[in-house]
Structure formats: C-alpha cells, structure tokens
Amino acid sequence: MSPRSVLAIDAGQTAIKVRLDTPGHRDDLLFRGIDTHEPLLPQLADVVREAVERTHGSPTLLTAGISGLTERDSDAGALLSLLSGTGIRGARLAHDSTTSFLGALGSRSGAVVAAGTGVVTLAVGLHSVARVDGWGYIMGDAGSGYWIGRAALDASMRAYDGRGPATGLVDVVRERWPDLAQAYIALQSDDDRVRIVAAFAADVAALASDGDEVALRITAEAAHELATSVSTAIGRVRDRDETFAVCAVGGVFGSALLRDAFAEELSGPGIELVTPLGTAIDGAVALAELAPTHPLTADVRHAGTV
C-alpha cells in the first residue's frame, strides 16, 4: 500500500471505481460509468468531490486510469484546477490500459488484454511499450463486450429476416424489445446505447454454453480477435526470445468458452498465461509509486506536487 493518501480511480464506460487508499485504511466506492458524449474532466471532478465527501477522507494525490483517454482529456493540470478546495495537490492520469497492466502484472514485462465494454491490449517489454486497439466502439474494440453484443444484434436481425441461421438470441433481444421491427429505433435513440449493446455479451456467453451455434461462432470470433491483439502487441516489443506473461482481465473473460478459446489461440512457446496479481483499481493506486525509469511512465500525465 502506498504511504501517501491516494484517491485512485478506475474510470470505465460501465462503471467508475474509486478507492481512497490511506495509511491503515481503505474505502472502495462505485459510480456510474463515463458518459462518452460529455466532457470527461468535469465528470471525474464530480466523482472525486462526491468520493471525498462520502468517505470524509483527506487525499493529497489523485491517480486515475481512464477508458479511452485522449490527449484532449489528459490535462492533469486542468483536472487539478477543477478540484480546488478538496485538498488534492497532485494528479496523475493514464489510459486504463496502463492501470490494467500495473494491476495485473505490476512492474514486470508482459502483456495485458482488458476486455469489458471496450477492449485494449498493452504489452511492455524491457525498453518499449505497445498498445493495440482500444479505438472505441465505432472504429475498433474487436472482441469487446460491445463488439460481441453488436454481433449478437446483427445475428438476431438476420435470423428475424431469414437472412441467417436460427438462434436463441432472437428471443433474448425480443425480451428487451418485443417488436423487433422497431428495436433499432429504440436503441439508436437511447443515450445509454453503448452499455445496452455491450450487455448482450452476457447472453451470448450463456447461449454459447447451451450450444447455440450462432453464439458459439461469435464467441470463437471474439476469442480470435483478442488473441490476435495480444500476439501483435507482444511482437512489437519483444527484444529477444523471452517468455512473455499474459493476463486476460475484464468481464468478457467471464465466459469460460471464450477464455478457453483465447488460451488455445495463444498456446505455444514464448507465452505464459498467468493469473493477475490484482485489478485495474490496484493499478490506479500503483501509479502513485511508478518508477521514473519504467517504460510506462512516459504515458502518465502529471500535475502538481505531493
């Protein structure tokens, strides 16, 4: 545990996890996920202020791993100015791939694929870092919960039209939208549509376990996409014939069939699938003590002093 008083954030599209980590005490809170259609920094500032109020804590350093963090939103100084009066004097912001990596593997070399609503893979070698995908639900996130849910909706409507094979996914989608002919209107007009689509990934996992052929195909394709991202990331940072530790984290890997297919795709010399040391919120806390010489430090935005 860090000796500092740290307020750590793991900000995802489905949920925002917050941990107040102080010497001898820890509080964990859960908030609604990031609204990608609204400015990011004010959302984070609101979460921080509420977290400080609810825990009655006195953090001095804010650390955050943020899904889809862009250069535009990575202004740690601007966030710090929004937190005036909270007692927080320093801020460190990173893409959630960085904090997922630190939570899962610590400071060692390896690769971490974090697949929830979105997905990103990060590989860290001795001297370099490679990020693969994490390009959002429109341009990327192959194998993510959204990607799986989108494939499920596509397969459902193909079956409904008679363009594709029958699947139990039709009944699942009809449970939410009884009139399938109007489902697309309801979905497109819903501000929460990204999370709604991603939620169907759980139904794909359940139907795949029951032997639904369409759900099995989607599961296999998602596993292939995720394994491809990991192999690509490792290939970009591997300096020699070293064995790379690989961690697969996130809700998508709650599907045993997908997890097994992913492992099978990656089986072979030079890759070792390992159990994560911790979670992304642990990685957000670890930002407080990340060594200046670590390859990931260059991707962390700093402001203030602690």
> Does 26 score more than 50 pLDDT?
yes
Q: What domains can you pick out in the chain, each with its CATH number?
A: 6-102+280-304 (3.30.420.430), 107-138+220-273 (3.30.420.40), 143-215 (no CATH)
Q: Roughly how many angstroms between the first and final C-alpha of the chain, as a whole number?
A: 16
Least confident stretch, 38-42, 62-66, 260-264: 38-42
pLDDT tens digits, one per residue of 219-270:
999 999 999 999 999 999 987 777 889 999 999 999 999 999 999 999 888 8
Higher-confidence residue of 23 and 196: namely 196
Q: How confident is the model at residue 100 (pLDDT cuts 50, 70, 90)?
A: confident
Which run of H or E residues covers position 280?
helix 280-286
Which pLDDT value is given to residue 1?
39
Higher-confidence residue of 73 and 235: namely 235
Q: Determine the Cα–Cα distance for residues 186 and 78; give it in Å rounded to an integer.
A: 37
What does 45-109 look like in DSSP terms, one character per residue?
A: HHHHHHHHHHHT---SEEEEEETT--TTT--HHHHHHHTTTS---EEEEEEHHHHHHHHHHTTSS
Residue 176 tokens read as 């939410």
Bridge partners, 8 (sequence order): 19, 63
Bridge partners, 17 (sequence order): 10, 30
> Does 48 score more than 80 pLDDT?
yes
In three-state form (DSSP H/G/I as H, E/B as E, the rest C), the secondary structure along 18-55 is: EEEEECCEEEEEEEECCCCCCCHHHHHHHHHHHHHHHH
